[in-house]
Amino acid sequence: MLTTARVDLPVPVEVRLKNEALFTDNVNDYARDDLIGFKRPIAAAFALVAPVALALAYQGQGFSEMLQLAMVFVAIVGGGVYLIGKQEWPKLVVEFQEHALAKRRAVADLRCGFGESSFLSHGRSPRFFEHEHGVLVLADAGDLKTLFFSIESDEGDPRWALYLNGELHRRVWRWLRLPISREVVKFSTEGSKLARILEAPMIDSIDAWEAVNVALGEPCDGAIIHRCFDELCEVIDRMI
């Protein structure tokens, strides 16, 4: 049976959201901070070496030699920014867009000021369906409803490690979900392991993956599907 209640956000989650909410909304500022903040090894090395080299040139050979060296550095920086920026700028824009999206979600979650704490006690084993980037999970939530998780093969997601270790086969699941972004930020299991654990089949084609997603109603991670658990499992088994 599945139960859900509103709770205060844990301090570590709230701190993380506040840090994400401080992200700059200007891509040019982000690119400048990326360089000035020493996030690029070449830029960091150059920023440390250049002032020292200019100081030694001035002390050893005078102002004119230092000025010539400074002009060389300017030419190197200009050429480097053009050549490297031409290759790195698209990646930088993608990173910026990801951080900007995370900021909008964090602001919305902070405004709500609460999380959704859920508890599920299994009466039967969940089903797992692996794919190239992770695993789909279906669990009987009672009252002809099915809990759906889409777990990416990401070490930052605690559910992935629990799945690999077989801990998702335990009888009790507890997790915390953010109200707007719907991100699952905490997950734990307890109790005895369930019997009759079926081997997880592989969804090994894009067509099968899309068909399964549509058949389930294109749910988001952590959604409740208002259909019988057995029915959904049979549908996926036929499609793969």
**pLDDT tens-digit profile of 78-94?**
555 555 555 555 676 77
Higher local confidence (pLDDT), 29 or 231 = 231
Give per-residue pLDDT as tens, 175-209.
Answer: 999 999 888 889 999 998 887 777 889 988 888 88
Identify the pLDDT of residue 37.
Answer: 45
- Could you give the C-alpha distances from 175 to 62, 64, 119, in angstroms and in order? 67, 66, 7
Residue 30 pLDDT > 70? no
More confident residue, 13 or 54: 13
* pTM recorded for the entire structure: 0.70
Cα–Cα distance for residue pair 215/136, rounded to 1 Å = 13
Q: Are 155 and 133 in contact (CB under 8 A)?
A: no
The sign of the dihedral angle between the CA atoms of 197, 156, 154, 100 is: positive
pLDDT band, very low/low/confident/very high, at 43 (cuts 50, 70, 90): low
pLDDT value at position 110?
93
Q: What is the DSSP letter of 240?
A: -
The pLDDT-based confidence of 98 (bands split at 50, 70, 90) is confident
- Could you report the per-residue pLDDT of 125-170, keeping only the tens digit for each? 899 999 988 999 999 998 899 999 999 998 878 899 999 999 999 9
pLDDT, one tens digit per residue, over 44-79 is 555 555 565 556 555 666 666 666 656 765 666 655
